[in-house]
Amino acid sequence: MKKYIFTILVSVLLFYPSQGFAEAKEIISEGTYNMGDGETPGVAESRALLQAKRVALEQAGTYVESYSKVINLKLTEDEIKVLASGLMEVEILDKKRTVVGNGIHFWVKIKARVQTEKMEEMAKRVKEKDVIEDYKKVQEAYDTSQKEIEELKSQLSEAKNETEKKKIGTKIRDDERLFQAMEWFNKGYQHSLERKYPRFADKITEAKKEGYSDDEIEQSIMGIILTRKQKALDAGYSEEEINQNIRDNLFSPNSEYDKEIEAYTSAIALNPNFAKAYNNRGIAYLKKGQYDRAIEDYNKAITINPNDAKAYNNRGNAYVKKGQYDRAIEDDNKAITINPNDADAYYNRGNAYVKKGQYDRAIEDYNKAIALDPNHVLAYTGRGLAYVSKGQYDRAIEDYNKAIALDPNHANAYGNRGLAYALKGVMGRAISDFQKACDMGNENGCKGLKMALENR
C-alpha cells in the first residue's frame, strides 16, 4: 500500500514541471500580408504571422545547427528544420492593420524563443520518418495555399462580371478553409513533436542513489505537494478545483494526446477529406490505448486515399494491440504492396509474426527492414527478441549490441540484452544490463534486476 501511495505522490509531483535556466536564443522578426477582396481578416492575419514565423525559423535553424554541433548531435538538414520548429516558442509583440487602396495591409511583429533544454530529447523524435514527412507536407501545403491565393486575387481583379467574381470568391473561401485546416493540423503536429514523456523512475532512482530512503523521499514529495496546494488555495483556487486537477493528472496521463486529437478534429471539421488528419488522429488514439477509435480513423483515411500505405501500416499496429494478428498481417501486406521499400511495414509485420510465435518469418521481415534501413533500431531489437525466443542468445546479443550502438539511450535494448545474458547464465552481465535499463526508467529492467539478484 505504501509503495502505491508513494508512486501516486511522485506522479502528482512530476505533473508540475519546474522551470530550469537552460540557454535560450531570442529572435525578433516581422511578417506582412495584403488582404484583398473576398478574404477574411482572421486568415489574412494568420498569413502575416506565418511569414514572421518562417523568417524566425530560418535564424532558429542556423542557431540549432550550431548548438547541435556543440552537444554532438548528428542531424540532417531536414531534421534541423523540424527540430528548430519544435523548439521555437512564439510571442506576438505587436500587430497593425492599415488600409491600403482597396485592401488592408497586415503587419505582425513576433519574438521567437528557441529553448535548448529540450533539444536532445526532441532530437530523438525528429529522427522518425513520419515526423519529417509531416513537416514537409505542412510546408508544401502552406506554399501551395500562398500561390493559389495570390493567383485567385489576380483573377478577381481582372474578372469582367459578377458571375465570374462570385465563382472566384467561392474559390478564395475554399482556399481559406483549407489554410485554416492546415493551421489546425500544424497545431496537432506540434503537440505530437513536443509530447512529454514523464520519467518518474529516473527521479526515484536518482534520489535512492543519493542514499535517500523511501520514507525520506515520500516525506519530501509530500511537503512539496502540500506547499504547492497551499499556494493554489492562496491564489484563489477552490479545494475542489485543486482536487480535480490532481485527479486529472493522476487518471488522465494522456492529456498531451487529447490536445493533438482536438487539433486534428478541428482540421477535419474544416476539411472532411483531410486523410492525413484522420491518420494522425488515429495515431493519437492509438497512443492513448483507444484502439477501436484509432481503427475508425484509419478506415476513414483509407477510404479517402486507398493508396495510403501509412494508414494500412498504422491500422495494422492497432490490430496487433487488439491481439488480431492475422488482420494486422493483412494490413502490413497491403502496405508493402503499395510501398515495397517501407522498412516500417516489414518491421510491423515482423512484430505480428512474433506475437503468433512464427519466429523464422518474423526474422525474415526484420532482415528486410534492416536491409532497407540499416539504422532501424527497432528492427534490431525486434529481431533480437525473435532470436531469444528461438534460444539463439548470442545472435540476440549481437542485435542488441547494434541497437545500443545506434541509440545508447535505448532502455529496452539494455533490458532485453540482460534477459539474453540471464538465459545464457552470464549473470554478471545480465545484472549490469538490467541495472542500466532500470536506471533509465525501464520497468522490466527493474523487475529483471530484482529477479537476477534474488537468483544469483
Q: Is residue 80 part of a domain?
A: yes
Q: How many domains in the chain?
A: 2
Helix (H) or strand (E) holding 32: strand 24-35
Q: Which amino acid is at 362?
A: A
Residue 412 domain flag: no
DSSP conformational letter for 160: -
Nearest alpha carbon to residue 129 among 76, 87, 89: 76
Residue-level pLDDT at 69: 84
Q: What is the pLDDT of residue 185?
A: 92
End-of-domain residue from the set 84, 102, 127: 127
Give me the mean pLDDT over the 250-266 stretch: 76
Check: CB of residue 156 under 8 Å from CB of residue 37.
Answer: yes
364 found inside a domain: no
- Residue 290 has a pLDDT of 93
Q: Is residue 431 part of a domain?
A: no
Are 184 and 267 in contact, with CB atoms under 8 Å apart? yes
Taking only the tens place, the pLDDT of each residue in 125-164 is 787 778 888 889 889 999 999 999 999 999 998 988 999 9
Q: How confident is the model at residue 11 (pLDDT cuts 50, 70, 90)?
A: very low
Whether residue 222 is predicted with pLDDT greater than 70 in this model: the reply is: no
Statement: residue 355 has pLDDT above 90: yes
Look at residue 291 and tell me whether its pLDDT is greater than 90.
Answer: yes
Does some domain include residue 330? no
70-95 confidence digits (pLDDT tens): 778 888 888 899 889 988 989 999 99
The answer to whether position 61 is within a domain reads yes
Q: Determine the average pLDDT of the residues in 346-352.
A: 97
pLDDT reported for residue 217: 61
Q: What global pTM score does this model have?
A: 0.76
Is 103 a residue whose pLDDT tops 50?
yes
Position 19 scores a pLDDT of: 37
Judge whether 342 lies within some domain.
no
Q: Considering 127, 144, 172, which residue would you say is the last residue of a domain?
A: 127
Residue range 183-200: average pLDDT? Answer: 74
Q: Is the pLDDT score of 365 beyond 80?
A: yes
Mean pLDDT of 299-308: 97
pLDDT band at 445 (very low <50, low <70, confident <90, very high): confident
pLDDT of res. 231: 63
- pLDDT above 70 for 9: no
What contacts 191, CB < 8 A, 6 or more positions away?
256, 259, 260, 263
The domain containing residue 33 runs over which residues?
Answer: 23-127
Return the pLDDT at 200: 43
The domain that holds 30 is classified in CATH as 3.30.110
134 in a structural domain = no
Q: How far is CA 343 from the centre of its chain?
A: 19
Q: What integer best gives the mean pLDDT of the chain?
A: 85
- Of 107, 127, 147, the residue that ends a domain is 127
Does residue 319 carry a pLDDT above 60? yes
Side-chain half-sphere exposure of 382, counting CA atoms within 13 A: 30
Sign of torsion, CA 85 88 89 93? negative
Distance of CA 106 to the CA centre of its chain: 33
Model pLDDT for residues 17-54, shown as the tens digit of each residue? 333 334 678 999 999 999 988 899 999 999 999 999 99
